[in-house]
Amino acid sequence: MCRWLAYSGAPILLSEALYAPAHSLIDQSLHSRLGAETTNGDGFGVGWYGEPDTPGVFHSTAPAWNDENLHELADHVSSGHFFAHIRAAIGSAVQQTNCHPFRYGRWLWMHNGAIRDFAEVKRDLVLAVDPALYASIEGSTDSEVFFHLALSFGLEDHPPQAVARAVGLIEDVGGRNGVDHPIQMTVATTDGARVWAFRYSSERQSRSLFYSTDIPTLRALHPEVEILNEVSSDSKLIVSEPLRDLPGAWNEVPEASYGVLHGDDQALRPFRPQAPARRTSVSAAV
């Protein structure tokens, strides 16, 4: 399992979100409180948007807590929109191509959780990926296949629907292979402007997910916390677990729901997987 963080707001040094908070993501790499694993030391990644069209990604197989290059990057790169992820591998190799966030064009994707019994269902799932996208799968994780399923189902046009179809397929294939609870997930994806975040699991006991209270409200609650005066009013964070113990600052995303960060739209909506109408033709042909 893993931990992740998504930031959107005025540009800040990455280190403000990754290192500065008391229970920062870097701290969570050693001492996660709410994760399935307390240690998330099997690599990490960040993806950030700047002037170029596509986001930059930095992936490393070292534990986040001891990676000097991550520290340097975080201290010298600013962005108004970035993802960060720390990994606890569960089966697949510790290598850069297995580090989140994954990128496709302008899109980033990161995942905490698992497609269960992935070795058994991987072939069927990969067959359902659009053949034109197949060659862009570079690693061996369930999460990257999940991303490519979502892309195959139209992520770039209708993210919630594409994720619903991908999850529906994973549950369908899992079910046909006798897998209990085929998927466990919190997922974040972005096109560089909006962030979609999903919390769901087949057993309805999903990994933790929180979003930050809006800054003006927090400032009124905690006038003594200086950092709140420094960040922009529209700054938002979505995190696997709270970065600070600040009362009123964090709100749990409800079970089986999703939200989008975009302007003032912060509504949370129910997330329902969308099962395939029938067995996919490719699978049927096997």
3-state SS, residue 225: coil
Q: Which of 22, 94, 193, 227 binds a copy of itself (CB under 8 A)?
A: 94
User: What angle is formed at CA 111 by the lines to CA 108 and CA 116, rounded to 5 degrees?
Assistant: 140
- Spatial contact of 228 and 214, defined as CB atoms under 8 Å apart: no
Binding segment toward a copy of itself, per CB under 8 A, in 37-45, 166-174, 222-230, 243-251:
37-45
User: What is the rounded CA–CA span in Å between residue 141 and residue 200?
Assistant: 19
Q: Which of 10, 22, 93, 220 binds a copy of itself (CB under 8 A)?
A: 93
DSSP bridge pairs for 250: 212
Q: Does 267 bind a copy of itself (CB under 8 A)?
A: no
Q: Does 95 bind a copy of itself (CB under 8 A)?
A: yes
Q: Which of 77, 221, 256, 275 binds a copy of itself (CB under 8 A)?
A: 77
Q: Which of 20, 34, 36, 62 binds a copy of itself (CB under 8 A)?
A: 62
User: What is the rounded CA–CA span in Å between residue 80 and residue 50?
Assistant: 8
Q: Does 230 bind a copy of itself (CB under 8 A)?
A: no
3-state SS, residue 188: strand
Six-digit token string for 218: 């927090």
| Helix locations, the chain, DSSP H | 14-18, 25-31, 68-76, 118-127, 131-134, 142-152, 159-176, 215-221, 227-230, 281-285
Q: Does 169 bind a copy of itself (CB under 8 A)?
A: no
Is position 99 annotated as part of the catalytic site? Answer: no
- Minimum CB distance to a copy of itself, residue 166 (Å): 19
Residues that bind a copy of itself (CB under 8 A): 13, 30, 38-39, 41-42, 48, 50-52, 55-63, 65-66, 68-69, 72-73, 75-78, 89, 93-97, 119-120, 122-123, 126-127, 131, 134-135, 138-140, 282, 285-286
Residues designated catalytic: 2
